[in-house]
Structure formats: structure tokens, C-alpha cells
Amino acid sequence: MTDTLPSIAFHEPRIPQNTGNAIRLAAVTGATLHLVEPLGFDLSEPKLKRAGLDYHDLASVSVHADLEALLATDPSARVFAFTTKATTRYSDIVYRPTDILLFGPEPTGLSEEVLGHPRITDEVKIPMLPSRRSLNLTSSASIVIYEAWRQADFVGGA
């Protein structure tokens, strides 16, 4: 939707409200949202529609059969995998419009298999207090996409 921001990718999302909120996030920022199957819900589910409000038509959303199908959309894209196990902070990266920001399913996060994929450029974390398990999926994506947009001086924003 925009050539300024990276893409957000949810790998096997499980909670329709989070995906609905991510659709809204994509609509208000102009980022593309990629959903990697299997999804834990039907895209026509009322909870997803309600969480996304009336933003569905304003968002760029693509559904992919698997991770390989997503990665085939741009074979040269950098892929940042978000995990609490990482040492690189999200704020230490200079984001590019061609990057893919990959987030795992609730409540498990990305699997070791995905984290070990050869296309993963780096594992990235959002700092939080010790002994906390995780941050909400769409909250995490929001933090990172807004950092990427800030780095682009909020081009296109009002």
C-alpha cells in the first residue's frame, strides 16, 4: 500500500481480534499485512470484523498458504523475526520499505523451525520487564511499524 514502510507478517495467527486490530493498523499506517496460514479463525468471523471496524477496505492484506509463499513475494527482502529470545532490539534497526516484520502466533511465538529459516535476517525483541512472558501481538507490531514510520519521518502521515 505504501512504498515507505516494511510489511507486517503474522505467522499462523490464532486470535481473530488481534488480526482485526492488525488490519486496522495496516489501514492507518499504509503498511501491508501478510497473514501466513493456517489461520486460527475464518476471515469472515464477526470478532475479526468488529476489531477491524470499517477499515477492511482501506487495508492491504494478503493471505499466503505458508511461509515459503510469503517469502517468495520478495526473494531479496530482509526478514526480521520477532521473539523474546532475541538480543537485537527493534530500535537498533534501520528499517527499509522492503523489509518483512515477522511475528509469531499467540501464545507460542515463532517456532524454532521458523527462527532457524535461512531467510531470517535477524531475531529481534521489544524490551520488557524481566519475567514477563510476552506483549500482545498487534501491540508489538504497532510499536515496530511506528518506529519504522518515524524513521521515514512519517511520510504520508497527517
Residues making up the binding site: 104, 126, 134
What is residue 90's three-state secondary structure? helix
Q: What sign does the dihedral 19-69-152-31 (CA atoms) show?
A: negative
What contacts 115, CB < 8 A, 6 or more positions away? 81, 83, 85, 123
Binding residues for S-adenosyl-L-methionine: 104, 126, 134
What is residue 123's three-state secondary structure? strand
Closest CA to 70 of 122, 11, 137, 118: 11
